[in-house]
Amino acid sequence: MNTHFPSKRFGLLIAATLLLAGGCATVPEPLEGSFAQITPEQAADQHVGDQVRWGGRIVDTRPGSESTCIEILDQPLDRYARPMASDQAEGRFLACRQGFEDPAIFESGRDITVIGRLTGFVEGRIGEFTYVYPRVAADTLFLWADRPHDLLYRDPRWYHDPWGPYLHYPWYYGPRLRFSSHIVIHR
């Protein structure tokens, strides 16, 4: 009788568990930490000086003579600190930092996560509307890679039969579009 069999199986179970746990995705290292749990909509004077981690979709990048401010449409962050792809917005904010950030890289529509201190509020305009932006002195700008898009194509070889050779499944997925890596800028 083999008495080592249960211990080998247990060892394999432990090894498999560790292997799977090691592959779990986490928050990227530059975005780790503890932050004030407020959104730009909730930000008020008593929060000035608080460290925040906000993110969303870039609306505009405005380089100035000494600093660059990025206008961001705030969106809730997922468990990896990436802005969620949704139409839910929690206001807008400005992320500003010393120096030049290229608007061709920080282009409108890209996802970004920002870490910095809430320094105050700036009045601006969105169309004819006067808007008060929370302003963040950004220490870290984490520009996310574009999300891949699956394109659904109808197989042109089966245009006579509405269902194609696969009953109720005439569609197939095309190639994924535009991959790029993320960019991290921090002090």
Beta strands in 49-151 (DSSP E): 51-63, 67-74, 92-98, 111-126, 129-143
One domain, residues 157 and 126: no
Query: 125 vs 33, 64, 71, CA distance in Å?
Result: 33, 17, 12
Q: Tell me the pLDDT tens digit for each residue of 116-154.
A: 999 999 999 999 999 999 999 999 999 998 877 655 555
| Structural domain includes residue 10 | no
| Structural domain includes residue 15 | no
| Structural domain includes residue 137 | yes
106: its two tokens: 């920080």
Distance CA 18, CA 24 (A): 10
One domain, residues 56 and 119: yes
Q: Which residues pair with 97 in a beta bridge?
A: 68
Which of 22-31, 56-65, 101-110, 150-159 shows the lowest per-residue confidence on average (mean pLDDT)?
A: 150-159
One domain, residues 169 and 119: no
Q: Tell me the pLDDT tens digit for each residue of 50-71.
A: 999 999 999 999 999 999 999 9
One domain, residues 112 and 170: no
| Structural domain includes residue 19 | no
For residue 131, give the CATH number of its domain: 2.40.50.140
One domain, residues 122 and 158: no
| Structural domain includes residue 103 | yes
| Structural domain includes residue 49 | yes
One domain, residues 95 and 172: no
One domain, residues 52 and 131: yes
Give 179's pLDDT tier (boundaries 50, 70, 90): very low
Give 105's pLDDT tier (boundaries 50, 70, 90): very high
One domain, residues 111 and 163: no
Average pLDDT over the chain reads: 80
Dihedral pair phi/psi, residue 66, rounded to 5°: -125, -15
126: its two tokens: 């969105």
Using a cut of 0.85, tell me whether the model's pTM lies above it.
no
One domain, residues 108 and 169: no
| Structural domain includes residue 167 | yes
Structurally, the chain folds into a number of domains equal to 2
One domain, residues 71 and 111: yes
Distance CA 148, CA 151 (A): 10
Dihedral pair phi/psi, residue 17, rounded to 5°: -65, -45
Query: 9 vs 2, 15, 18, 120, CA distance in Å?
Result: 12, 10, 14, 59
The residue among 24, 180, 21 whose CA lies nearest residue 107 is 180
Number of residues assigned to the chain? 187
Which of 13-22, 102-111, 162-171 shows the lowest per-residue confidence on average (mean pLDDT)?
A: 162-171
Provide the greatest CA pair distance for the chain: 84
Greatest mean pLDDT among 21-25, 110-114, 177-181 lies in 110-114
| Structural domain includes residue 136 | yes
One domain, residues 82 and 117: yes
Range of the domain at 157: 152-179
**Alpha carbon of residue 22 to chain centroid:** 22
One domain, residues 131 and 170: no
